[in-house]
Amino acid sequence: MNTADNTIEGKKTRYIVILAAFALIIAVLSAIPSVQNKIKPYFSNDPRVVLAKINAFFGVEQNEYLILKVKDPFGIQIEIYDAKDTSKPVFKQKFELSQDSDAYITLDKNTTNLALSDVDKDGQLDIIAPSVDRNGNLRLNTFRYDLELQHFEPLSQ
């Protein structure tokens, strides 16, 4: 006795079960944040957008830096360029704020999404880049300039 259902209805049922299983696997995988970051660019036509830009001077020699807050399909990044030659800034560093959305704060009666302020009270300006995480929590991402190493690092508070 042949128990395999080779009728048209049996084949349709098998295809439906296979498609449902495939859809379930895709749904489960797309709920994982690390997978979301990898597949997001394939489903998004959003171009790279500069959200904010600041020119500032840091260090003993007061080197000029261009600081950008950028949004692309992967999330938000803070990009820092050496701007000695203003015609062609040189990329120096990038800080990923993956899964975060742009946010604004009020500093000195001005609303901004990228600012400079001496947060740690060391006499040097710090970069402040507010964002909102995927749970709706405000993050005050702060980066300080390390005089000895001559680069920026996240400020731990």
* Whether pLDDT at 109 is above 60: yes
Q: What is the pLDDT of residues 70-100, one digit of tens each?
A: 998 878 999 999 998 778 899 999 999 988 8
22-45 pLDDT tens trace? 999 888 887 887 777 677 666 666
pLDDT at 105 over 90: yes
Mean pLDDT (the chain, rounded): 87
Type of residue at 14: R
Residue 113 burial (10 A CB sphere; 0-12, 13-18, 19+): middle
- Residue 43 DSSP code: G
Which has more pLDDT, 1 or 105?
A: 105
- Percent of the chain exceeding pLDDT 70 equals 91
Helix (H, G, I), strand (E, B) or coil at 17: helix
What pLDDT sits at residue 53?
96
3-state percent breakdown (helix, strand, coil) of the chain, nearest 5: 20, 45, 35
137 vs 156: CA distance, rounded Å:
17
CA-to-CA separations, 114 to 9, 45, 99, 131, in angstroms, rounded: 61, 25, 18, 10
CA distance 82 to 72: 22
User: pLDDT digit string (tens) for 41-69?
Assistant: 666 665 789 999 999 999 888 899 999 99
Q: What does the domain layout of the chain look like in residue ranges? A: 8-43, 49-154
Distance, CA of 130 to CA of 41 (rounded, Å): 23
Looking at residue 46, what is its pLDDT?
Answer: 57
Query: What pLDDT, on the 0 to 100 scale, is given for residue 1?
Result: 45
- CA separation for the pair 140, 157 (Å, rounded): 10
d(CA 24, CA 37): 19
